[in-house]
Amino acid sequence: MGRTITSEEEYRPRPSRRGSRPRTKRRPDYSDAVRGVVVSVDRGRYRVIAGDDLASASAEAPVVTCVRAAHLRRRPIVPGDRVSMTGDTSGDDGTLARIVTVEERTTVLRRSSDDTDPTERVVVANADTLVVVTATTDPEPSWGFLDRTTVAAFDAGIRPLIAVTKTDLHPATEVRDRFADVDVEIVECGYDAAGLPRTDALLPHLTDRQSVLLGHSGVGKSTLINRLVPGADRATGEVNENTGTGRHTSSSTWALPLPQGGWVVDTPGVRSFGLAHVDADSVVAAFAELTPATADCPRGCTHAEGAVGCALDAWVASGEAGPSGGRRLRSLRRLLGNLT
Ligand SMILES: Nc1nc2c(ncn2[C@@H]2O[C@H](COP(=O)(O)OP(=O)(O)O)[C@@H](O)[C@H]2O)c(=O)[nH]1
Ligand SMILES: [Mg+2]
Ligand SMILES: [Zn+2]
């Protein structure tokens, strides 16, 4: 279940003071506008692929460089956003189009700078799958990061998935053990004998979906994308994520169409993933069979382990949450433990 988008995210026209504008002012007509999907954002320039969605965009579809119309200047526009553009949408060198509308989003993945600073950044729009990428070693898994990104996914109504890389160097046992209690699928993507990342377990989860890859720098996101999307040409290896120096597209978020259908978003290494914006009830909402019971919780219940009067314990004990209720409640509480 998706969370409704809060006010500061959504563009709202300034309330016009009564009588301050002539009533005859005509609204612009965007019926000729070309629809597209934002694939990257870089200092006020948006790259947009024309088409209703990336999956149906042909390999030759032009990437149109856009600015946004003045009336959208407070509106965050991020990769995955569905927009419409006017002006020169040929994508030819030196041309510039203008984004004039942004469609309502189905999901919004966001992070706070840290847990005490609720300044939010929208990472990607309209994703339905979050692939948290972790290496078994080099770099070592960051357990806090895995937990927190999983919580953010549930909060946003996005299905989380953990992709484990570098299993050729070290087994995935510890990652599996750590997540044995949490309802998150784990797939292994280490190099095969030919030195290429294995994508057979991952691909079925991405096909016809809109996925975003998140993970620390160096875990192998771009390596995976290059394997999944022939010609993606994402820079891998020694890229300085701080200064953005290094090779071309490495420092920016980029959405790419998958040949099998769907699209996948590569992100630069994200070090912190604050959860100041997440509220417990929206995480609970991802556990549909447990949600009805919370109606009997005291107001403001955190639903955490030992929360006084929390109705979830009795609900699970009654069997109404189903045979896996106990395991699901442990999973939920482990995630909620990240919010305190
Ligand atoms: N042995 C091994 N090396 C990998 C694997 N995946 C990625 N690498 C290497 O790890 C380094 C970082 O990969 P990169 O894709 O740039 O990571 P990103 O920062 O997450 O995009 C590169 O040198 C890759 O060749 C893997 O599964 N096994
Ligand atoms: Mg990368
Ligand atoms: Zn409760």
Tokens representing residue 103 in the block: 């469609």
Strand 120-125 relative to strand 108-112, pairing: antiparallel
Instruction: Among the bound ligands, name the one nearest to the CA of residue 298.
Output: 3
Looking at the DSSP assignment, which residues form a beta bridge with residue 99? 68, 85
Residue 197, ligand 1, Cβ within 6 A: yes
Q: Report how far ligand 3's centroid is from the alpha carbon of 329 (Å).
A: 11
Looking at the DSSP assignment, which residues form a beta bridge with residue 159? 129
Q: What are phi and psi of 37, to 5 degrees?
A: -120, 135
How buried is residue 264: exposed, middle or buried, by Cβ count under 10 Å (0-12/13-18/19+)? Answer: buried
pLDDT tens column, 202-247: 999 999 999 999 999 999 999 999 999 988 888 888 654 444 443 3
The position carrying tokens 């009533």 is 23
The position carrying tokens 């309209």 is 126
If DSSP codes are grouped into helix, strand and coil, which group holds residue 161? strand
Residue 199, ligand 1, Cβ within 6 A: no
Model confidence at 11: pLDDT above 80: no
Q: How far apart are alpha carbons 163 and 135 in whole angstroms?
A: 8
Residue 217, ligand 1, Cβ within 6 A: yes
Q: Report how far ligand 1's centroid is from the alpha carbon of 275 (Å).
A: 27
- Give the neighbor-by-neighbor strand order of the sheet with 254-257: 185-188, 159-165, 129-135, 209-214, 262-266, 254-257
Model confidence at 193: pLDDT above 60: yes
Residue identifier of the C-alpha nearest atom 16 of ligand 1: 236
Residue identifier of the C-alpha nearest atom 13 of ligand 1: 220
Instruction: Among the bound ligands, name the one nearest to the CA of residue 224.
Output: 1
How many CB atoms sit inside 10 A of residue 142's CB?
18
Q: What would the DSSP string read from start to end of 156-183? A: HT-EEEEEEE-TTTS-SHHHHHHTTTS-
Angle of CA points 155, 6, 103, to nearest 5°: 95
Residue 268, ligand 1, Cβ within 6 A: no
Q: How far apart are alpha carbons 284 and 329 in whole angstroms?
A: 10
3-state SS of 267-306?
Answer: CCCCCCCECCCCCHHHHHCCCCCCHHHHHHCCCCCCCCCC
Residue 9, ligand 1, Cβ within 6 A: no
Residue 236, ligand 1, Cβ within 6 A: yes
pLDDT tens column, 128-156: 999 999 999 999 999 888 988 988 898 89
Q: How far apart are alpha carbons 103 and 334 in whole angstroms?
A: 35
As a whole number of angstroms, the longest Cα–Cα distance in the chain is: 72
Pocket test residue of 236, 238, 241, 249 for ligand 1, highest count of atoms within 8 A of CB: 236
Atom of ligand 1 nearest to the CA of 191: 27
Q: How far apart are alpha carbons 209 and 55 in whole angstroms?
A: 9
The pTM for the full model equals 0.81
Atom of ligand 1 nearest to the CA of 165: 27
Given a contact cutoff of 8 angstroms between Cβ atoms, the answer to whether 98 and 72 are in contact is no
Q: Report how far ligand 2's centroid is from the alpha carbon of 333 (Å).
A: 32
pLDDT of res. 290: 87
Q: How far apart are alpha carbons 291 and 142 in whole angstroms?
A: 30
For ligand 2, a single-atom ion, the residues with CB < 5 A are 221-222
Residue identifier of the C-alpha nearest atom 6 of ligand 1: 220
Residue 222, ligand 1, Cβ within 6 A: yes
Atom of ligand 1 nearest to the CA of 250: 21
The position carrying tokens 């890859």 is 213
pLDDT tens column, 57-116: 666 678 999 999 999 988 899 999 999 999 999 999 999 999 999 999 999 998 887 666
Instruction: Among the bound ligands, name the one nearest to the CA of residue 313.
Output: 3
pLDDT tier, 336 (very low <50, low <70, confident <90, very high otherwise) = confident
